[in-house]
């Protein structure tokens, strides 16, 4: 007996116990950049409250996939649905640019590896968080300030520095500002693109710890992209392994690390430590 381990097969064929329905479903996502096929028929499913890790080497398509989730890019083919309360959006790739912007601002948070992508470096840290709330229509200065403070606090950012500009802050602190910005509107989905790459090990542990805590206390659904298996192992409930734009294996995190099924995953796991 051999098991078909593609995500689609697991989705389709596994006997289902749960009433839980996926928060995120992506089907048949393909994307080419010229001759490079960045994604080939990728399927992804993320359930509410879980941390989905995506691993793979550089160029495997994991960041491209994450950018699709943030609606920054549109695939050549494919279908993307998010199950959000009181909304029926259909395939999100069919939305207009404006609808995408508003949906992302309200329901999706993202933390980039490079804080310059996610932050206004010359505005205050609290202002960076407040901008999200301003887009969502909050118009009271006191409420903006209180909510920015709360989000920064939840990201374990030192509040006495809440008005410092990100450009004056260390890398770890900048990531916390990005995180506060991402969670300020309590998004349905938090996307993390190599959030701790480039931080030194001790700072990395602290940021991961903050993420863990947030995930536990707020039950935020997260998709975490990293090439660092240690990071994925600490954080993820389930793991997708990508290579050459395809998902080669998907499973529970401990299963992927302890009993990898695909030759590439075995190679990857054994390369660690």
Partner 1 sequence: MTTTPLLRVEGLTKTFRIYHLDSALHAFEDVSFDLHEGEFLLLRGHNGAGKSTLLRTIWRSYLPVGGHVWYRSGHGEIDLANAADVDISLLRREEIGFVTQFLNARPRVAAQDIVAEPLRLAGIAQDEALDQARHWLDQFGVRPELWRAYPSTFSGGEQQKVNLARALILPQRLLLLDEPTASLDAGAREALVRRLSDLKAHGVAIIGVFHHPGDVAALIDREINLNTKVVADQLTKEEDHVAL
Partner 2 sequence: MSLASLTKDWAATSYGFLDASAKRELRRKMLKAIAVPGCQMPYASREVPMARGWGTGGLQVTLTLVNPASTVKVIDQGADDGVNAASIRRFISRVSGAAETWDTLSASIVQSRHRVPEEVMREDQILVLQVPNPEPLRGVEPNMSIARQMHADADYGKLWLTLYEQIVRKGRIMQGAAYPSMVNGRHVMTPSPIPRWDVPKLNMAKHLTFLSAGREKRLFAVPPFTRVEPLVFSDRPYQVEEHAHLTCRRSGLSGYFMNEIPQDNGGSTFEVSDSNLGIKAIQKAEGAPTEIGETWYRDGEYSA
Judged by CB under 8 A, the stretch of 54-62, 111-119, 136-144, 186-194 that binds partner 2 is 136-144
CB of 213 to partner 2, least distance (A): 27
Q: What are phi and psi of 21, to 5 degrees?
A: -110, 150
- Helix/strand/coil for 262: coil
- The item of partner 1, partner 2, none sharing an interface with residue 135, based on CB under 5 to 8 Å by kind, is partner 2
Segment near partner 2 (CB under 8 A), from 5-13, 52-60, 131-139, 231-239?
131-139
Neighbours of 143 (CB within 10 A): 12
What minimum distance in Å lies between the beta carbon of 47 and partner 2?
31
| CA atoms of 191 and 77, how far apart (whole Å) | 22
Nearest to 124 by CA among 82, 166, 156, 153: 166
Among 98, 160, 201, 258, which residue sits at the site for partner 2 (rule: CB under 8 A)? 98
Q: Are 55 and 62 in contact (CB under 8 A)?
A: yes
223, 52 contact by CB (below 8 A): yes
Angle ∠(97,98,99) on CA atoms, nearest 5: 95
Residue 57 and residue 268: Cα distance in Å, rounded? 9
Residue burial 3-15, b: 16+ Cβ < 10 Å; e: rest: eeebbeeeeeeee
Q: Which of 110, 189, 251, 269 binds partner 1 (CB under 8 A)?
A: 251
Q: Is 110 helix (H, G, I), strand (E, B) or coil?
A: strand
Subset of residues 2 to 31 that bind partner 2, contact rule: CB under 8 A: none
- Answer with the entry of partner 2, partner 1, none that 17 interacts with (C-beta below 5 to 8 A by kind): partner 1
Least distance from C-beta 41 to partner 1, angstroms?
Answer: 20
Considering only 47, 59, 161, 227, the residue that binds partner 1 (CB under 8 A) is 47
Nearest distance, CB of residue 110 and partner 2, angstroms: 16
Residue 141's binding partner among partner 1, partner 2, none (Cβ under 5 to 8 angstroms by kind) is: partner 2
Query: In terms of Cα–Cα distance, which of 55, 28, 62 is closest to 250?
Result: 55
Q: Is 160 in the site for partner 2 (CB under 8 A)?
A: no
Min dist. Cβ of residue 134 to partner 2 (A): 4
Q: Decide which of partner 2, partner 1, none touches 47; Cβ closer than 5 to 8 Å per partner kind.
A: partner 1
Residues that bind partner 2 (CB under 8 A): 97-98, 101, 120, 123-124, 126-127, 130-132, 134-135, 139-144, 163
């Amino acid at each position: 007996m051999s098991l078909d381990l593609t995500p689609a097969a697991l989705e389709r064929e596994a006997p289902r116990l749960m009433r839980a329905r996926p928060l995120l479903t992506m089907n048949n996502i393909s994307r080419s950049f010229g001759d490079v096929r960045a994604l080939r028929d990728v399927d992804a499913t993320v359930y509410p409250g879980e941390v989905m890790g995506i691993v793979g080497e550089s160029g495997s398509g994991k960041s491209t996939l994450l950018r699709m989730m943030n609606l920054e890019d549109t695939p050549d083919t494919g279908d993307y649905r998010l199950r959000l309360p009181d909304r029926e959006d259909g395939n999100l790739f069919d939305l207009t640019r404006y609808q995408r912007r508003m949906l992302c601002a309200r329901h999706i948070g993202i933390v980039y590896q490079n804080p310059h992508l996610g932050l206004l470096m010359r505005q205050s840290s609290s202002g960076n968080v407040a901008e999200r709330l301003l887009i969502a229509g909050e118009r009271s200065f006191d409420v903006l300030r209180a909510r920015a403070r709360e989000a920064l606090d939840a990201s374990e950012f030192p509040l006495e520095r809440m008005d410092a500009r990100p450009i004056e802050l260390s890398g770890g602190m900048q990531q916390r500002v990005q995180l506060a910005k991402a969670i300020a509107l309590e998004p349905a989905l938090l996307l993390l693109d190599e959030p701790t790459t480039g931080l030194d090990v001790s700072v990395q542990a602290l940021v991961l710890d903050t993420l863990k805590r947030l995930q536990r206390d707020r039950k935020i659904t997260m998709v975490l992209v990293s090439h660092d298996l240690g990071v994925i192992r600490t954080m993820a409930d389930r793991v997708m392994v990508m290579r050459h734009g395809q998902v080669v294996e998907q499973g529970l995190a401990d299963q992927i690390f302890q009993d990898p099924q695909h030759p590439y995953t075995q190679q990857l796991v054994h390369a660690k430590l």
